[in-house]
């Protein structure tokens, strides 16, 4: 049943008011105070208040807004449980030596001639296994950039490869906040979402391999200068704290097994978390108390004292890599989700979402137009807010009805969100992600941008699939929504409710 209770129609200005408030507060707040989690939550709540004011002014009540927000949270509870499980898993993977083992070999297997290609592959593996672009760039990415500098390799190309690999995992890993939140926003099943992204991520990955291999072949082989001191120190720290062997890959195998056998994601991740925590105690020598504390609050360097290592002897690179994860690390994400749903609920109850969708999609006549409209809205909003999570939730809720009206499964929407939000943000120099990446790799955004092939390959292939789907019927998935979609949320009279072409394959 529809949650909308507004009794009088809105103007386009009233419908846009919450979005204008959000953009204005983000810009002013970031300029005056700097961008952080507190600003994000406050901006969302103020924007939700503005949307609620509009809704009440047109006949809605607080109870109706609250009921709508509650229904949205209820629908995505399984994915919220995944987010919590992921927090515990990341800390447990540090405890078990899984993440250190992956970084250890990623650093050691660098090839001097093909360091650009190696940087992409090593960072891709790291980010896919950990689900974090920032963590991958800030750990193995930093080591790879130091190696590239020592070997005289092209730094912009290496930086672009690092960022491409980092965002491959941020887009494709079931451990990534972005992957989960885009699935939440679109109402898509997590694993189906990941598999469906192969239509654009697969060609982008191949394109990266071609470009980065050609770079190694066309650029003269740099002189070997050995591994930089910072990387050597990191590996020494790993050896001092962890027992690094193939057993560390068992938690990774459990997650992969869960994906292949279609075990509910929260259960597969929780199983890997439990096994990893047990390995931390049995294999690595941490105490049971440390294991429990790490899963809940995150791994902390002082915990290594239980293994016989000296915490004071460990370098900054080790601390950056290790001190992360825990259930509590997802608290901010959960607060952001609730605040974003309050905003979406107020706009839903007032009818603002319907009005904005009609205006945005009123001229859409094709599958390409639908995908292009989604991606334009996503890229514009993430460029204004510097927050892919909020953008995925808001744009996802805004476009759900339009995709359902045309008979497209929500995985098409979630893929469009990833290709327009997750991987394009580091290409916009003014965004938080771009600033972080440029600072971390030591290369300006405009210098690494041409080499961040994966980040612009996704949008290109996504639009190419959309442009040819009406003729070829390839690359789009038909189906229904995993989470409830209000049938009255569709756009009345939207042209082309049944897209031509044969159903897409999964």
Which pLDDT band, with edges at 50, 70 and 90, does 164 fall under?
Answer: very high
Give yes or no for residue 165 having a pLDDT over 90: yes
* Chain-centroid distance, C-alpha 189: 15
For residue 10, what is the DSSP state? P
- Averaged pLDDT of the chain: 81
Which residues fall within 8 angstroms of residue 368, CB to CB, at 6 or more apart?
463, 466, 467, 469, 470
What pLDDT, on a 0 to 100 scale, did the predictor assign at position 282?
93
Q: Three-state DSSP class for 178?
A: helix
Average pLDDT over residues 117-136: 84
The pLDDT of residue 275: 95
Instruction: Based on DSSP, count helices (H) and strands (E) in the chain, helices before strands.
Output: 25, 0
Spatial distance between the Cα atoms of 468 and 487, rounded to a whole number of angstroms: 28
Asked if 47 and 21 count as a contact pair (C-beta separation under 8 A), the reply is: yes
221 or 323, which is more confident: 323
Rounded distance between C-alpha atoms, residue 282 and residue 287, angstroms: 9
Q: What is the mean pLDDT of residues 426-436?
A: 79
- What's the pLDDT score for residue 482? 46
Cα–Cα distance measured from residue 106 to residue 122, given in angstroms and rounded to the nearest whole number: 5
The two tokens of residue 394 are 């808001």
Write out pLDDT tens, residues 397-409: 888 888 888 889 9
Alpha-carbon span 352 to 258, nearest angstrom: 40
Per-residue pLDDT at 391: 82
pLDDT digits (tens, 9 = 90+) for 222-258: 545 556 676 778 788 888 899 999 999 999 888 878 7
Q: Which residue has the higher pLDDT, 383 or 241?
A: 241
Residue with the bigger pLDDT between 271 and 73: it is: 271
Residue 299 has pLDDT above 60, yes or no: yes
**Which whole number is the average pLDDT over 288-309?**
90
Share of the chain above pLDDT 70, in %: 85
Q: How far apart are CA 277 and CA 286, in angstroms?
A: 9
Q: pLDDT by residue (tens digit) across 256-279?
A: 787 667 787 788 889 999 999 999
Does residue 463 register a pLDDT over 80? yes
pLDDT band at 163; cut points 50, 70, 90: very high
Instruction: Compute the distance between CA of residue 32 and CA of residue 26 in angstroms, rounded to an integer.
Output: 10
Closest CA to 100 of 257, 275, 304: 304
Which residue pairs from 439-443 have beta carbons closer than 8 angstroms and sit at least 24 positions apart in sequence?
440/134, 440/137, 440/138, 440/141, 440/142, 441/137, 441/141, 441/142, 441/145, 441/155, 441/158, 441/159, 441/162, 441/163, 442/145, 442/155, 442/159, 443/145, 443/155, 443/156, 443/159
What is the b/e burial string over 227-266, where b = at least 16 CB atoms within 10 angstroms of the residue's CB? bbebbebbbebbeebbebeebbbbbbebbeebeeeebebb
6, pLDDT greater than 70: no
CA–CA separation, 432 and 391 (whole Å): 14
Compute how many other C-beta atoms are within 10 angstroms of the C-beta atom of residue 20.
12
CA–CA distance from 385 to each of 39, 378, 430 (Å)? 11, 11, 10
- Domain positions in the chain are 81-330
Residue pair 105/204 in contact (Cβ under 8 Å)? The answer is no
């Amino acid at each position: 049943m529809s949650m909308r209770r507004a009794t009088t129609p809105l103007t386009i200005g009233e419908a846009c008011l919450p979005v204008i408030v959000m953009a204005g507060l983000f810009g002013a707040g970031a300029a005056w105070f700097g961008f952080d989690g507190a600003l994000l939550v406050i901006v969302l709540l103020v924007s939700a208040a503005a949307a609620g004011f509009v809704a009440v002014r047109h006949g809605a009540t607080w109870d109706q807004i609250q009921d709508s927000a509650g229904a949205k949270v209820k629908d995505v509870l399984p994915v919220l449980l995944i987010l919590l499980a992921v927090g515990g898993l990341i800390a447990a993977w540090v405890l078990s030596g899984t993440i250190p083992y992956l970084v250890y070999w990623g650093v050691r297997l660098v090839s001097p001639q093909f360091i650009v290609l190696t940087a992409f592959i090593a960072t891709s593996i790291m980010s896919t296994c950990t689900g974090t672009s920032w963590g991958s760039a800030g750990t193995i990415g930093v080591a790879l950039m130091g190696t590239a500098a020592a070997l005289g390799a092209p730094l912009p190309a290496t930086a672009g490869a690092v960022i491409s690999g980092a965002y491959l995992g941020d887009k494709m890993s079931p451990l990534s906040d972005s992957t989960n939140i885009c699935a939440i926003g679109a109402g898509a099943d997590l694993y189906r979402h990941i598999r469906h992204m192969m239509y654009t991520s697969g060609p982008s990955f191949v394109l990266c391999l071609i470009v980065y291999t050609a770079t190694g072949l066309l650029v003269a082989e740099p002189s070997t200068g050995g591994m930089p001191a910072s990387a050597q120190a990191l590996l020494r720290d790993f050896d001092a704290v962890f027992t690094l062997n193939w057993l560390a890959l068992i938690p990774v195998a459990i997650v992969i097994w869960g994906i292949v056998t279609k075990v509910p994601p929260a259960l597969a991740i929780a199983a890997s978390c439990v096994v990893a925590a047990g390995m931390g105690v049995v294999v690595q020598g941490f105490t049971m108390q440390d294991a429990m504390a790490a899963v809940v609050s995150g791994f902390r360097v002082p915990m290594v004292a239980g293994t016989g290592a000296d915490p004071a002897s460990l370098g900054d690179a080790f601390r950056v890599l290790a001190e992360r994860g825990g259930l509590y690390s997802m608290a901010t994400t959960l607060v952001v989700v609730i605040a974003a749903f309050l905003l979406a609920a107020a706009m839903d109850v007032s009818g603002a979402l319907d009005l904005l969708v009609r205006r945005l999609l009123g001229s859409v006549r094709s599958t390409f137009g639908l995908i292009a409209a989604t991606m334009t809205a996503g890229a514009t909003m993430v460029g204004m807010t510097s927050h892919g999570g909020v953008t995925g939730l808001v744009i996802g809720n805004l476009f759900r009805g339009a995709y359902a009206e045309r008979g497209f499964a929500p995985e098409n929407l979630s893929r469009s969100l990833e290709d327009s939000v997750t991987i394009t943000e580091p290409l916009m120099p003014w965004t938080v992600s771009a600033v972080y990446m440029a600072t971390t790799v030591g290369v300006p955004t405009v210098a690494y941008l041409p080499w961040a092939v994966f980040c612009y390959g996704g949008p290109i292939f996504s639009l190419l699939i959309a442009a040819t789907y009406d003729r070829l019927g390839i690359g789009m998935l038909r189906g229904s929504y995993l989470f409830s979609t209000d049938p009255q949320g569709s756009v009345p009279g939207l042209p082309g409710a049944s897209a031509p072409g044969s159903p897409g394959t999964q």
